[in-house]
Amino acid sequence: MKESKHMRATRAIVARQPRACSCRRAHKALILVGRHAVLVVVAALFCFPFVVMLSTSFKTPPEIFQLPPRLWPERWTLANYRQAVEAMPFVRYLLNTLFLSTANVVGALFSCPLVAYSLSKIQWGGRRPLFLLVLATMMLPPQVTMIPVYILWNRLGLMGTYWPLVLPSYLGSAFFIFMLRQFFMGIPNELLDAARIDGASDLRIYLQIVLPLARSALAVVAIFTFVWTWTDFLNPLIYLNDESMYTLSVGLYAFFSEHGVQWGPLMAACSLFSLPLVALFILAQRQFIEGISMTGLR
């Protein structure tokens, strides 16, 4: 009695199987569509401001103030771009920013791995206390040191030069030193010992073994140093006073705070200002994502 009931149930399930299967497939497809829909909405919300920036930058003034606004300009114009580049020394600012970013990348790549190497792969007494010191400096708000460092540069007579904006990166940044040290710790000591037995000096081991192995971590250091210098506002603001030396950040602020905001040229300037970083991100997406996940910092 019981058995037959069970068998009937089984037969019923078997009979229903094909229908259940197609139903499940449809269900799965529906879930997939739903997931994409959620993600498209999320991505659209994050992209929308970009679209507005670009669309405004190609609009004529009457269309910028047209209500309701249209995302797709009726008449495309490059006038805003021409005005942005001609009204202020845009190219000059661009080159200044590029110079500072490059100089800082070189500095960071010179100093940070060197210090990290010393803190991870060379046996010496000061290694541990120094590492703790590096960690401690990461906790201090920059405002505390900002004023004395400013006064220091002022005393040295280097206000209005690029020294305050370049030199510090040649002395290493705690954050990258920490990150690289963690990375170097993962390099097997046997590898370095073998080289040492062959008579290689610490410097040679560093240059020929450690650095090539750390290429991906170094890319992260280079990219983030570049982006941070490119976008930095506070430091150029307090250290530069000659307009011809301004970076894009300070240059844009100085120009539009003095002449008042004109949305077309402003959005064109902002687009040009952001473009190199967006391009860099598209090219080096993997390093960006890895860098953030590796450090836990944004």
| Touching other proteins, residues 140-199 (CB under 8 A) | 140-152, 154, 168, 170-172, 174, 177
In the complex with other proteins, which residue's Cβ is closer, 99 or 253? 253
CB 279 to other proteins: min, Å: 10
Binders of other proteins among residues 240 to 259 (CB under 8 A) are 248-249, 252-254, 256-258
- In the complex, minimum distance from the CB of residue 16 to other proteins, in angstroms, rounded to a whole number: 23
Tell me if 22 contacts other proteins by CB under 8 A. no
State which of residues 84, 109, 115, 165 lies at the interface with other proteins (CB under 8 A): 115
Enumerate residues 84-113 that contact other proteins by CB under 8 A.
Answer: 110-111
- Please check whether residue 110 is in contact with residue 173, taking contact to mean a CB–CB distance below 8 angstroms: no
Is 214 among the residues that bind other proteins (CB under 8 A)? no
User: Contact at 8 Å (CB) between 205 and 187?
Assistant: no
Query: How many CA atoms, within 13 angstroms, populate the side-chain half-sphere of residue 36?
Result: 5
Binding mask 220-239 for other proteins (x = CB under 8 A): -------x--xx-xx---x-
Part in contact with other proteins (CB under 8 A); list of ranges 39-47, 77-85, 192-200, 213-221: 39-47
Integer Cα distance of 265 and 252 in angstroms: 11
- Taking the C-alpha atoms of residue 78 and residue 169, their distance in angstroms, rounded to an integer, is 38
- The nearer residue to other proteins, 77 or 274, going by C-beta atoms, is 274
Measured CA to CA, the distance from residue 8 to residue 3 in angstroms comes to 9
116-127 burial, b at 16+ Cβ within 10 Å, e below that, comes to bbbbbbeeeeee
Q: Is 62 in the site for other proteins (CB under 8 A)?
A: no
Binds other proteins (CB under 8 A): choice among 11, 13, 20, 65: 65
Write down how long the chain is: 298
Q: Give the number of other Cβ atoms within 10 Å of residue 248's Cβ.
A: 26
How much helix, strand and coil, in percent to the nearest 5, is found in the chain?
A: 80, 0, 20
* Minimum CB distance to other proteins smaller for 20 or for 289: 289
The DSSP 8-state label assigned to residue 69 in this structure reads -
Which of 126, 186, 191, 244 is in the footprint of other proteins by CB under 8 A?
Answer: 126
Nearer to other proteins, 79 or 238 (CB): 238
For other proteins, the binding residues in 1-20 under the rule CB under 8 A are: none
- Residue owning tokens 């844009």: 252
